[in-house]
Amino acid sequence: MNPLNSKPSRFVASLANLPSLAMKVVFALVVCLIVGCTDNSPPSQFVVDVSEPSVQVEVGGHLVGAPVAAAFEEESESNLSVRSIVSQTESKPAVRPNYAPPDGRPPILAVQMSDTTAFGVPIGNFSDQLLLMRNDGAIQRIPKPEIVQQTVLNDRFRSIERNELSQQLRAEFGRNYLVKNEPPYLIVAKSEHINDWAQRFRGLQHSFKLYCTTHGLLTREIEFPLVAVVFGSRNEFLKYAHASGVKLPEFCVGYYFSDSNRILLYESDESSAKETQMTICHEATHQLAFNMGLHQRRASSPLWVIEGLATMFESPMLSGLQSREGKSLWPATRKHTWQSLRKSPESIQRIVTGLIQNDKAFESDFQNAYTVAWAMTTYLSQRRSQQFGSYLQKVGNLPPFEDYALTIRVSDFQSAFGSDLKLLTNKIIKHLETLE
Ligand SMILES: [Zn+2]
């Protein structure tokens, strides 16, 4: 089972003010989501397939090979045999890419439907749907019955120009919103606050890059503009989520939508600053980590490493934001849970063991799961940087759309960090005692 089939949730409580902005944003409980397209579809994973590295090229962090050839092979095969329809579930692709374009950039595939035509590169070809990476970095899911014709164009696939995407966003969000071109971001927000948002996102991006550089984590250039949408009200936010097919839990205040590759949040007068800042940083870290190659969409990377990294950047020190907490590396919401867990190293070790094996704790015991995931990521990235960097690469390069078998998942972890989990737990505990 895909480890991200279950939507991860993160809840933070406590209220505070947001002095740096004129407005406040509502957060009683914060729910972090990395969501896929529909409520049943597997949330966010990046495609990287290293099983055939010599014949693939990278598009937006996806290794694709002969997307066009793959699409056509599937078409011809489907004439010979009837494939079962697997609703929205992403089973294995019916045909794996097997051809590399000579210039390193795949040709664009035009997929004609009855009322519109989509352009992009197929990254997953299933019996029931085609997943097309568009030039704005979004993944479009096209039901197979809707496809009328597919045509290979002479043009090669490239990211959309920032100005062109700006115009599209202006048309999409209307005249009540501005679009600010703040590389690598395109920020959609109300005019009065847009500069504050730009400053925030840039601050976090700077901090994230710096952390990766100082800790030897390999990154790649961001290929597509990063779209961040800040709605003017919760109603607009919910309406947009609904129209996108995303079912949000109650109290959800922001999310990274892996299909569109956008982060979405809202501002309001009743909110709490601390939670707002943390949520923004958490979701923006997901977006950066996926777009800078630390994780890959559609690969089954363990959730502890994805959520651990995002939670790390909630801390005042790493968020890149001014804060009354100064330079603490502690995310405010993790302190209390950790202090409680700290009384029982055996409990911590039990949770560590569980997170290494699977992602179930993020459903059944989410507070402890997020806290221990953060603790593991903090210790491993700071004290075992080299192994952590290699481990990130390994799990980010897992074959797309495939389960991460438990035995391999555990063995990959042990190869990187050893099998003595009692020792590891003790080291994590000791390291956190040194954190300011
Ligand atoms: Zn998250």
Per-residue model confidence (pLDDT) at position 191: 83
- Cα of 261 from ligand 1 centre, angstroms: 14
Instruction: Give residue 2 CA to ligand 1 midpoint distance, Å.
Output: 16
Q: How far apart are the CA of 365 and the centre of ligand 1, in A? A: 15
- Compute the distance from residue 307 Cα to the ligand 1 centre, in Å: 5
Largest CA distance in the chain: 66
Whole-number Å distance, alpha carbon 7 to ligand 1 midpoint, is: 10
Domain final residue pick, 132, 156, 180: 156
pLDDT in tens, 234-290: 899 999 999 999 888 877 888 999 999 999 999 876 555 677 778 889 999 999 999
Look at the chain and report how many structural domains it folds into: 2
Count of CA atoms in the C-beta half-sphere (13 A) of 35: 25
Q: Look at residue 412 and tell me if it is in a domain.
A: yes
Ion ligand 1 neighbours, Cβ < 5 Å: 32, 307, 310
- Give the range of the structural domain holding residue 127, as residue numbers without chain letter: 61-156
In the chain, pLDDT over 90 holds for what percent of residues? 60
Instruction: Say which residues have a Cβ less than 8 Å from residue 337's Cβ, sequence separation at least 6.
Output: 367, 368, 370, 371
Report the separation in Å between the CA atom of 287 and the middle of ligand 1, taken as the mean of its atom positions: 10
What does the DSSP assignment read for 379-420?
A: HHHHHSHHHHHHHHHHHHTSPBT----HHHHHHHHHHHH-S-
Domain boundary among 124, 156, 188: 156
Q: Ligand 1 centre and the CA of 114: distance in Å?
A: 37
Of 137, 156, 175, the last residue of a domain is 156
Report CA(281)–ligand 1 centroid distance (Å).
Answer: 10
Residue 278 lies in a domain: no
Residue 78 vs residue 226, higher pLDDT: 226
Residue 380 maps to a domain: yes
Phi, psi for 9 (deg, rounded to 5): -130, 145
How far is C-alpha 110 from the chain's CA centre? 27
DSSP string across 315-355:
SHHHH-S--TTTT--S-HHHHHHHHHHTT-HHHHHHHHHHH
Contacts of 198 (CB under 8 A, 6+ apart): 180, 182, 185, 187
Q: How far is the CA of 283 from the centre of ligand 1 (A)?
A: 6
Please state, in angstroms and rounded to a whole number, the distance separating the CA atoms of residues 304 and 360: 10
Q: What is the pLDDT of residues 146-183, one digit of tens each?
A: 999 999 999 999 999 999 999 999 999 999 999 999 99
Could you tell me the distance, in angstroms and rounded to a whole number, from the CA of residue 427 to the centre of ligand 1? 25
pLDDT confidence of residue 349? 98
CA of 200 to the centre of ligand 1 (A): 18
What is d(CA 341, CA 191) in angstroms, rounded to the nearest whole number? 44
**What strands lie across the sheet with 139-143, from one edge to the other?**
139-143, 129-133, 117-125, 107-113, 147-156
User: What CATH number is attached to the domain comprising 115?
Assistant: 2.30.30.100
199 lies in some domain:
no
Q: What is the bridge-based pairing of β-strands 185-189 and 178-182?
A: antiparallel
The neighbouring-strand residues paired with 142 are 130
CA 141 – ligand 1 centroid, Å: 23
CA atoms within 13 A on the CB side of 323: 25
pLDDT for res 319: 86
User: Ligand 1: distance of its center to the CA of 350 in Å?
Assistant: 22
**265 Cα to the center of ligand 1, angstroms:** 14
Residue 163 in tokens: 């100005």
Please give the structure tokens belonging to residue 319: 């968020």
